Amino acid sequence: NPVVAIVGRPNVGKSTIFNRIVGERISIVEDVPGVTRDRIYSRAEWLNHSFYLIDTGGIDIGDEPLLVQIRQQAEIAIDEADVIIFMTNGRDGVTAADEEVAKLLRRSNKPVVLAVNKIDNPEMRDLIYDFYALGFGEPYPISGAHGTGLGDLLDAVVRHFPKGGGQEYEEDVIKFCLIGRPNVGKSSLVNAILGEERVIVSDIAGTTRDAVDTSFVREGQEYVIIDTAGMRKRGKIYESTEKYSVLRALRAIERSDVVLVVLNAEEGIIEQDKKIAGYAHEAGRGVILVVNKWDAIEKDDKTMAEFERKIRDHFPFLDYAPILFVSAKTKQRLHKLLPLVQLVSDNHAMRVQTNVLNEVIMDAVAMNPTPTHNGRRLKVYYMTQVAVKPPTFVAFVNDPELMHFSYERFLENRIRDAFGFEGTPIKIIARPRK
């Protein structure tokens, strides 16, 4: 998905516009633990285009002076985005800080759409003319307060999206990435995987932007590790802003089938790990929890079970994800990693037969009566799988409002028991029967 960044000095209304564009998407995100507080990245839709929206104003640069912060945020946008929305405030006119942002954006050669916010009524439209001076062509008047002008603005944004995107690799290639905070051992794991005896590294493909993917073949199966260079990159901004590396991880997740969430056995699990894992889950990718540096801790016969329990406590939303304890250093259990990636990738793309699925569902409903609400009982008539990656099921019911979360969970578990979807999230959507 293309990435769109909103840039501009403070108080021009970036986060209001962000929330307007993202809209109800936010409330969906809210269901996922660990993803809730972050309102800086989200997926958004416009005219059948799905894209990532970033509010660079929300990226915490630290205690730098204002101008330095604005500059760094602009640089992040230039690095990461396919299209930049440059936001200004019509009531303030063109300020020195706007000029500063403009200077950076002009040098970047990225497509920029200029938005003039706080144009709350037609009489204020004349305020936009000063903004031609910034050199980005037609300024788009918008109002965060009223939500007006956003349609035209987004039309202009979408026109700049890269053409013909979509499938980068063949369908049968397994794409995966390793994500996790700095120093958990991602680079070491990549090197260990590629150094495995039966692995033939065929090429390193320079793909989108500065992402570098590594492709290899093992036992006849082709794999691509998404963005192997990015995880090693250590620029100034990468270090000064934790959230920037999350953004990088997000993009890798988007392009992958399976995500290896790498944890550090030495340091346990921290908030940041949860956030990162939350993104993988929300994106609907297959997930494997990889606990690295297993060599580095003192262990007895209970350590692994205890660590496993800790992980399940911290990541209740990833209860489907297998856990693998490895060491990049001693290579312990590393030979299990790629077969597990393959298994999870297969499950992520698995399609089940409708008649078998409905036998399972009818048995489940017979075993555990459907919930009632205000004297009305949920009826599940029929279920069918409508998509893969991740497996997505539609349940035709009398009234979707009656489908309680816990019952959906129950059905999901029955489906998992029957078909074995280890490592992949499953989506169930309740629809009224026509």
Report the half-sphere exposure of 92 (CA within 13 A, side-chain side): 17
Nearest CA-CA partner of 193 in 180, 212, 207, 176? 176
- Binding segment (CB under 6 A) for ligand GDP, from list 70-78, 245-253, 292-300, 398-406: 292-300
Both tokens assigned to 331: 């290579």
184 binds ligand GDP (CB under 6 A): yes
State in angstroms the smallest separation of the CB of 71 from ligand GDP: 26
d(CA 334, CA 331): 5
State in angstroms the smallest separation of the CB of 232 from ligand GDP: 6
Dihedrals φ, ψ of 295, to 5°?
A: -70, -25
Tell me if 310 is assigned to a ligand binding site: no
End-to-end CA distance of the chain: 33
71 binds ligand GDP (CB under 6 A): no
In this structure, are residues 394 and 403 in contact, taking their beta carbons and an 8 Å threshold?
Answer: no
- Binding segment (CB under 6 A) for ligand GDP, from list 35-43, 288-296, 364-372, 397-405: 288-296
Tell me if 151 is assigned to a ligand binding site: no
d(CA 387, CA 394): 9
d(CA 325, CA 294): 6
d(CA 28, CA 375): 28
State in angstroms the smallest separation of the CB of 180 from ligand GDP: 6
In this structure, are residues 15 and 57 in contact, taking their beta carbons and an 8 Å threshold?
Answer: yes
Binding ligand GDP (rule: CB under 6 A), the pick from 296, 304, 350, 365 is 296
State in angstroms the smallest separation of the CB of 147 from ligand GDP: 42
Nearer to ligand GDP, 187 or 392 (CB): 187
| Chain residues 324-343 in contact with ligand GDP, contact rule CB under 6 A | 327-329
Nearer to ligand GDP, 147 or 182 (CB): 182
Binding ligand GDP (rule: CB under 6 A), the pick from 19, 188, 303, 342 is 188
Burial class from Cβ neighbours inside 10 Å (0-12, 13-18, 19+) for residue 24 reads exposed
Nearer to ligand GDP, 185 or 423 (CB): 185
What is the per-residue binding string for ligand GDP in 298-327, x denoting contact by CB under 6 A? -----------------------------x
Residue type, 123: E
d(CA 53, CA 339): 35
395 binds ligand GDP (CB under 6 A): no
Nearer to ligand GDP, 226 or 395 (CB): 226
- Binding segment (CB under 6 A) for ligand GDP, from list 5-13, 136-144, 182-190, 277-285: 182-190
Torsion over CA: 25, 12, 140, 209 (sign):
negative
Burial 196-210 (b: 16+ CB within 10 A, else e): eeebeeeeeeeeeee
186 binds ligand GDP (CB under 6 A): yes
- Binding segment (CB under 6 A) for ligand GDP, from list 131-139, 161-169, 290-298, 373-381: 290-298
74 binds ligand GDP (CB under 6 A): no
Tell me if 367 is assigned to a ligand binding site: no
Nearer to ligand GDP, 44 or 338 (CB): 338
d(CA 97, CA 285): 40
Tell me if 120 is assigned to a ligand binding site: yes
What is the side-by-side strand order in the sheet with 212-218? 199-206, 212-218, 221-225, 174-179, 258-264, 286-292, 323-325
- Binding segment (CB under 6 A) for ligand GDP, from list 8-16, 201-209, 246-254, 291-299: 291-299
270 binds ligand GDP (CB under 6 A): no
State in angstroms the smallest separation of the CB of 33 from ligand GDP: 23
Tell me if 294 is assigned to a ligand binding site: yes
Place of tokens 């050199």: 135
d(CA 286, CA 288): 7
Look at phi and psi of residue 253 and say left if phi exceeds 0, alpha if psi is from -120 to 50, else beta: alpha
- What separation in angstroms does the CA of 128 have from each of 92, 150, 163? 11, 15, 30
State in angstroms the smallest separation of the CB of 335 from ligand GDP: 14
Q: Is the bond leading into 390 cis (omega within 30 degrees of zero)?
A: yes
231 binds ligand GDP (CB under 6 A): yes
Binding residues for GTP: 8-15, 55-59, 117-120, 180-187, 227-231, 292-295
Binding site for ligand GDP (CB under 6 A): 180, 182-188, 231, 292-293, 295-296, 327-329
